[in-house]
Amino acid sequence: MRSRFFAFLLLGGALPVAAQPASLLPVPTSVRTGTGRFSIDSTTSIAITGHSDPRLERAISRLLHRLSRRIAQPMSRSITRTATPRSIAIDVAGPGMPVQGIDENERYTLTVGADGTTLQAATTVGALRGLETLLQLVVGDGTSFYLDAVSIADEPRFAWRGLLVDVSRHFMPIEQLKRTLDGMALVKLNVFHWHLSDDQGFRVESKHFPKLHELGSDGLYYTQQEVRDLVAYARDRGIRVVPEFDMPGHSTSWFVGYPQYSAQRPPIAIRREWGGADAIFDPTKEATYTFIARFLDEMIPLFPDAYWHIGGDEVEGKHWDSNPEIVAWRTRHGFRDNHALQLHFNTRLATLLSRHGKRMVGWDEILHPDLPPRTVVQSWRGTQYLANSAKQGFTGILSAPWYLDHIKPATEYYTADPVPQFDELTPAQQRLIIGGEACIWAEFITAETADSRIWPRLGAVAERLWSPRTVTDVADMYRRLDILTDRLEGLGLRVRSHPARMLATIAPGFDTAPVESLFTAVQPPSFGQSANGIRPNQWHPLTRLVDAARPDPDGRWLTERLVRRVARDPNDAAARDSLLVLFERWSLLLPRVEALGARSPTMAQGVAAARALARSAVIGTEAIGFLAAGRQAPAAWAAAAAAELKRYDAPQGLLRVAIVGEVRKLLAMASPPNDE
């Protein structure tokens, strides 16, 4: 079921027509609307009036292709050097940095009027950002397509706006990654953090050390040419590629072929389960650093970016403590603890990387006052670790609030700011926070499900990293995420279409409409929650009902919005009636889901959640009845209902009911005051 039904319900039956530039995502720095419009049709031309280079020309070619599909008309492919009233003029001052870096100028201005449209930028990357905005401005009426008159001046709030994609736990084919890069370009993200090695797989071909990919990847790896191609594909879209080869921990896959560099004894096998592993680099052997140096000599030419991620997280000291030779070496060299030993390892890595002009990035466990000062610390355990790194003078990147695989609603990602209001940070320390990254770890995600787990929620993170801090309207964010979803589908990303595609795999020939309706109000468990005792490993296909469900179902947000209206005004009959319609639809799903479950064990995985949803809807309906009647619910009924809802906080089989919290709010409004 598309979320447009919910918009229809909320607006009392009138489907919204998005006024422009109200659909822009991310919101630009400055927007001034004008009068008039610029028509878009097959006679519209492109004029490059300033600098031109192959990257800009390829971007214009993509623009024309997407415009042509949008207006269902062929576009002229002739590019001129002189602007006319019927042309879109692109005026770029220069190419920008030879290798796109953190200091790249991404500013642009876009001016649309009846007599022409002009995009101006200092660099090609700035023009790429403006072209995406231009495409989002295209609207139509009954007779034509056009751009409304507008003047936009735009630039990012943060220079580092990224997405980490884990391809170690589950391999992601190149075509899937390219679709992800297309989506990232649409929302103006500029860093693709490629997590290429972990305990479950080493994913890049090595000609110097072929056992890395031959024995550590199950045959699923990227050739060096594929890596070059993806880096070039990303650069064409104004996106940097930062590789991560995790060390000294999370490194089992390295040692399947090269156990001599591990602190553990062979044999060592790829780890199939999730969580920490025993295999870890031996930081006391000089041969370890020779091996890493030769590895970097081979890999670094594949990745021109100035930053290189070493991982460094979850290094459990017990793995070094269990090796008597390492313990003796540590004592002999005066290292007080394993944190100091990891500092030694990281300092050696930083030296190796600096020889290649690379700047080291690592997760927040690497933080130590004696780290090389140019080290960048990426905080994943909490915002306080970001503050700690800034106070010690280190550049910082925030990821802690933006783990997409934790299955949180877009609201939570949107309201987390890259620079939290730390009272203890000076303005200079706050400036050390250069941005952030969302992360999609792949324990419970495959290439088949990745699009739906990344999008559209990543759009909320992208806006937080690009737009002014004052852009905080959650309701408007959700409205625009719905439009973004359509745009992503147009680029080939399986976002809205994913549930139906997965259900077709799970139950071919079934009428799965009841389960699709169920998916409007249930979601997968959060990361780490037990799903009915099932803990998948790397061999599980991840084609269960939970893998088809949406991370942030449409009905959750609509219920939250309507409940907020009722909380403000219990006499808001329109909000109450809309909730009643929703609750009735959900309460009637149970017998239909049960009928499907009787025909398929996989579909039966939804019965427990359908039952809990139906009961939650009934409780919500009864609470609204008390509110509408202007009387309090009986204390015994309220207590029993509260106890029942508490049970539904936990996963119901493989799924979680997403509206329980909102029904609990209705119950609290209808219940007698708590005298405790």
Q: Name the residues annotated as catalytic.
A: 314
**Closest C-alpha to 518, from 459, 443, 412, 592:** 592
Q: Which two tokens stand for residue 190?
A: 């500029």
Separation between Cα atoms, residue 385 and residue 391, nearest integer Å:
10
DSSP 306: S
Torsion on CA atoms 135, 139, 144, 148, rounded to nearest 10: -90
Tokens 């203890």 belong to residue: 424
Tokens 């602007």 belong to residue: 83
Is residue 438 within 8 Å of 412, Cβ to Cβ? no
**What is the full DSSP assignment across 393-434?**
T-EEEE-TT-BGGG---HHHHHT--SS---TT--HHHHTTEE
Q: Which two tokens stand for residue 569?
A: 């005004």
Tokens 């041969």 belong to residue: 287
Longest dimension (CA), the chain: 82
Query: Torsions phi, psi of 316, nearest 5?
Result: -85, 120
**Closest C-alpha to 442, from 540, 307, 308:** 540
**Closest C-alpha to 271, from 259, 288, 253:** 253
Rg (CA), the chain: 27
Q: Which two tokens stand for residue 464?
A: 């937080």
Query: Torsions phi, psi of 579, nearest 5?
Result: -65, -40
Separation between Cα atoms, residue 568 and residue 551, nearest integer Å:
28
In terms of Cβ atoms closer than 10 Å to its own Cβ (0-12, 13-18, 19+), residue 148 is middle
**Closest C-alpha to 38, from 71, 5, 78:** 71
358: Cβ contacts below 8 Å, ≥ 6 apart: 300, 306, 307, 308
Q: Which two tokens stand for residue 502?
A: 């997965």
Tokens 């808001």 belong to residue: 572
Neighbours of 165 (CB within 10 A): 25
**What is the full DSSP assignment across 327-366?**
HHHHHHTT--SHHHHHHHHHHHHHHHHHTTT-EEEEEGGG
Is residue 288 within 8 Å of 323, Cβ to Cβ? no
β-strands 395-398, 433-440: how paired?
parallel
**Closest C-alpha to 547, from 612, 452, 653:** 452
DSSP 261: G
How far, in Å, are 69, 71, 86, 474 from residue 145 at the CA level?
Answer: 12, 7, 14, 29
Is residue 242 within 8 Å of 361, Cβ to Cβ? yes
| Torsion sign across C-alpha atoms 5, 11, 12, 16 | negative
Is residue 369 within 8 Å of 319, Cβ to Cβ? no
